[in-house]
Structure 1
């Protein structure tokens, strides 16, 4: 794994998960969701599953960066990649939590 991937992948995954979960919320609140025969309960479950998958993916990245197989030779890159992976995990938990805990459509 190159150093640029070690540094950029966790935050890029957070960005993709953020876009996907909030896009899913928009879809759940649209008429198309109801036209497909799905209710808000199914939408909430879908958003919870997407949130849990995003958190799990961030945990996998964090654990992979700590494993000897993917560790960088540079101590600086190792430190930066771990700090950014932790930041991406916290950002995933914090920014996507309102979708899971609040009402889906206002």
Structure 2
């Protein structure tokens, strides 16, 4: 069971962080964000902070999977989990990059 978690957690975290950050972008662009007394500058800060936190979480997970505490006994599972952790880290950085580089609300 632990091997299944080692393999599935990196991409699951990517999916959750992608959904959370773009959901936050929808909230920032909604009238409720302005009604709460927050401007687009605060929204940009919140979005960039969420994106950086998601990338940092993926990096910590990758480092954790490389360490002896979370490393699986099987060499195959270790290789697959590390490969998926790298893919998830790159996917997180790539899919959340537009949050930091493009205009918020069109």
Q: TM-score, normalised by structure 2?
A: 0.98
Unaligned runs of 5+ in 1: none
Q: In structure 2, the residue corresponding to 1:43 is in which secondary structure?
A: helix
Structure-2 residue corresponding to 1:39:
39
Structure-2 residue corresponding to 1:51:
51
Query: 1:1-106 to 2 correspondence within 5 Å?
Result: 2-106=2-106
1-side partners of 2:69 and 2:43: how far apart? 38
Aligned residues: 106
* Per-residue Cα deviation, 1:72-94 (whole angstroms, up to 9, x for no partner): 11111000000000000000000
* Per-residue Cα deviation, 1:37-94 (whole angstroms, up to 9, x for no partner): 0000000000000001000100010000000111111111000000000000000000
User: CA-atom RMSD, angstroms?
Assistant: 0.9
* Structure 1 moving runs of 4+ over 2 Å: none
Unaligned runs of 5+ in 2: none
Q: In structure 2, the residue corresponding to 1:5 is in which secondary structure?
A: helix
